Amino acid sequence: MKRVLFGILIFFSANILAYSQEVVCVTGKEYKGYIFPKDFPIWGFPPQSDRYTLNEDEIRQAENLIQKNIKDICFEILHKKHGKNYSKRFFKKYIRQYVGRKSENGHIIIEVILYHLSKNEIKYDTKSELFWQRFKEDVMLVLDGGYTYGSMFIDLTAKKILEINMNGEA
């Protein structure tokens, strides 16, 4: 009896450890994304020592900062001026993946990986859980991709966008 009870405790302990490494889906009015915890290996590499697990409140703060600067962000991506409503609709089509880091001076830095859904993906695949599963398995990596793939770096502590990178720019 003691042996079985001990086995059950190990089982529960293993589940707690597995849970701490799960990718968490976050959804807001203008965004949908996935938070990668600090212990999650990205592209098969072990986690770096500066990694940080973000919470939903920190994501909400980062997304509010993005919405506050939406026209400038979309100008950086498309190199064209658009109204705020167009920019919001355009940027809402990006699925986000969030990776947190702590800088040497203690600032929380969020890397926001951006993947823009095509018309076909929006029309057909987004209703399928299988479609969303790929965004939980690993951080997206697209070579080239133009405005459909990129990243942003946000200093949440200083409340500013540090960098916007889009693939395929000449």
The pLDDT-based confidence of 150 (bands split at 50, 70, 90) is confident
Q: Model pTM?
A: 0.78
The pLDDT-based confidence of 1 (bands split at 50, 70, 90) is very low
Pairwise CA distance, residues 139 & 130, whole Å: 16
Pairwise CA distance, residues 25 & 65, whole Å: 19
Please state at what angle helix 84-92 crosses helix 70-78, rounded to 10 degrees. 70
Specify the DSSP element, H or E, that contains 137: helix 129-137
Q: So where are the chain's domains? A: 22-166
Q: Identify the residue with better confidence: 45 or 53.
A: 53
Dihedral sign, CA of 48, 109, 31, 27?
positive
Query: 93-135 pLDDT, tens per residue?
Result: 888 999 999 999 999 999 999 988 776 666 666 666 777 787 8
DSSP category for residue 116: E
Strand 94-102, strand 31-36: pairing: parallel
3-state secondary structure of 110: strand
For residues 50-64, average pLDDT: 95
